[in-house]
Structure 1
Amino acid sequence: MEEISKNPFFIDLKKKFSTLYEKASGNQWLVCVPSKSSFTKSQINQEFAEMHVLKPSISFKDVFDTNTNPPKSIQIDGTTIKTREGFSKKRNISIITKEIFFNENFQPFNAVLIETPLVEPVEKEVKEKPQKELRQKPVVEKQRQQTQTNQKKKPKEKIQIVPEPEFNIYNTQEVISLSGEIITVSSIFPPHKTLEEISKFLTKFHENFQVFPKIKEKLKEFKQSYFFVKKYEEDAANRIEKLCEDTFSIFINVNPKFSVLANQKYNKIELLSIMKMYVLGTLNIYKKMRELYSEEDDNCYQQIKKEYQKNLLILISNLQLKFFQNIFQRKTPFEMMLVLDATIQKLTKLAYPGKESKSKLLSTDDLLPLLIYTITLSQPTQLYSRMIYCSSFNLTNISTSKFGFIDASFQTSVLTIHEGNACSKYEIEQRERREVERKEQIRLKQEKKKEEEKKERLSQIKRTNQSPRVIDLNKKQGEVKVGGFLSNLLSRDDFLK
């Protein structure tokens, strides 16, 4: 089945017409993507792009207006698009498949793959032809259409009979579970649990399309009825987890492959994890957390700016910073955990260079100052709300796993920054280190001075070459072990000249 993300028009829309794409995704409009076999690259221009970006009508359900001037309208009836006002002819265009994408604010928007472009075909002028040829044309045209119809039907029958190789559920692969453990599951699952991959995975199975509306309705009902309250994230997480289990049950009841996977331990864990990511992404929980904790986000940012302006000694390389900054492009707690894990691995490598970093782990006391410092240098603006989202909506027990340690370290770091103690421990350690270095430098200078004094006294002995003079090198310069008249002579400056 053709993937929308690899369609030439969809790629050009994102790259060449990026302003239009950002406007469409930001407003959660509908994007119609013609099948790649139905158009040529030369047809893609501004007008073509605007014709396929549709905003919902404010007056009628399932009616959309194109982004052209003047706008044209279409109506979606099941799996068919019907052209309405603005089009010279009424046409019915089949919807092949539907995919969900996400904008920069993690809000979902729909894209549908359609059989032909919405742009009306340009009709060529019909030149006058002999009467005999005009009479034959309808018959020839009818035969040609019948041939095309038969050709279209044959591949569809083959696709239904021959299963696609990627649907073989018995091949295996290793993936990271929601708790951070490596588990072996069917290769049918996406290797990375990003929202885009999960959305593509679920739309690969035609059985799933019959339950998408039901699931969407349940999630919409939750969004409209549930009221999020600050510091009551645990209750919200429990309710969302129940929604995930319901979604899981709905899918396995209609999809025989999912039903088989649900009877195998690790495949069931992975399938349930995918449902959790799908539900979280559709509900867009982070948007709620950002609204609830905007004050805490602002406070963290002010504290970070204050610390950043102190021009602390930069020990963290750009590599660690880049790894951590990736957290602000991630859309689920699981993806954020992977970023934090990678950042901590890089910090460990910084502390234990070479092969030692693979076997050693940073203790909490060593890790926190480095992690706090890395966060401070990245200057995030929505730190606190992300910490709440990441910690509260894992939807799995991570307390005793590797992700549990990572989560606790991240929470402690953010709370330290929020309380105005960012980098305080790090600064103390730096001051102590500088004090030790200062004392060591003083000691080395003193030793060097003593060595120079000894050399000077020895050089004086060689110059004078006086046998009565017995020098004690442990005494200060000028002190000699002689007395009386000779002592007075030796003490005179002009005596040695």
Structure 2
Amino acid sequence: MADGEDLDLNPFYKSLQTKFSSKFETAQDRCYLLCIPVAASLKGIYINQQFVETHVLRPSPYFQSHFVSSDKHGSRSIVLENGHIHTKDGFPTNTAIKILSEELGYNKDYKPFKMLIIEKPLDSTLKSREDPSSPTLDLQETRISFQDNKRLLFQFPEHKTALAVLDQNIRQFNSNYMILQGYLDHAAQKLKDICFHTTENLLKVNRHRRMNSDRRIVDLITNGVESYVMGSVHGKVFQAVCQKCAKDDEIICQKVKEFHGIRGEEFGVKPEFCCPLPASIVELANLDGLTTPLEKVSCLKATLDNISEEVNDSLRSNSMPGDELPCLTSDDLISILITLLIQAKSRHLASNLYYMEHFHWSTSSKDDLSFSLVTFKAAAEYFINTDFSYLKPLTPKVKNEMTFEEIIAVKQEQEGDDNKDKTNKTRPSTTASPRPRLSSFNRELDNITRMIEKTSTSSTDNGPIKSLFPEYDQVQASGFGKRTPTSPPDVIPISKSAGAAPLGDFLSSLQNDLLDGTYGKQD
């Protein structure tokens, strides 16, 4: 710990334990990284939700030693390197902040999490609560939805004229512009030009005092214009995109139906990464209902973040304290995404990916959005072009038993077919038809039916009884051992040979035998 730094007296650490206790508890349970500025650097700083999310960071699902802020969209990122924290995406400037010391804490499951004591806050532009010049524009807020970006643009009075021109251009596009098949690139270029010129006009008239010093304001306005334009023309543009990508969408939908229920292991997911992903499925299922490219690509990123978080939670719950957890690679993500696509059942996945790739132009330092799009494109291409016919789809549940009535009904139906075959066999034919082979199911059904019929009929049978010893049939035919049909013989015929031995106990017991055959030695 830094000399003289007591965490119990640190304003930020005290806020985590009191005002933001739920956030602190979540950070401990999921082993997040806590960056705690020394108390001396926090004088006049207002510790709010954005401050906490900036200094409570979760591991990046893409790179080691990379961490992202704990807000919903992971809008900021840092890198730990050589005893310093290097601020990257989402910060107004990239700076290196010295790590003064490191503390190790343990959660209720005795799993460790790190707390880094740093020399100053990660964002040097944070203002105090009492600063009268604090801007009304919250630069910490992440604006993704169409409505949020629309409110951003219209909250500046100086934007009124430029936005009126933009609304007129949007109305003309929706009413007059015709999107022809094969000319989607032309439509994309036209909308891109509208966004570029509108953004340029807004930046010229905007009077925000940080306009020339804070790159985040430029990014906010650029993203806001694109979201406003694409959200306004979505109905017209996306319909044309769906027509262009209809074949790929149909292939994906067909495979989703065909392979529904197949386990992740069969698609190559490693056993340790196989776990339920409910939050990821729900997030991806929202994709079709979003309108702007920024909303859609942010949905992909949130899905990947949820996958990483849910898999890591599963790994931690199944590991012992101190065990090193395996890391998800890009190949692992592809396999997991295949199972996720099947469960989320997106009807227009190929169309959405095309829409994001060709109608999202706003410059942004968030490379993780691009990575998310590339990862999903790779998964979709793999799903479309790979032959999974060797995998057996989930079959309907098989009944383990059949009722007596069902067995008899099936057997009667088969007997009806057999009678037809017998009728056909009585007719002369020059060629002998091969006897059909019974399936194992039919053979088993025959056996079961015979047993049922035997138990349900009388034990007496008026038909002739076959001999158990067919080898003596010829002897019977010659006159020996014949009997009248009225009753069985009283005794077994004895050989006339002088040296014949008397009957033993076994043969004597067979004298009243009902079987159609004689026993004993025959002369």
TM-score (norm 1): 0.43
TM-score (norm 2): 0.41
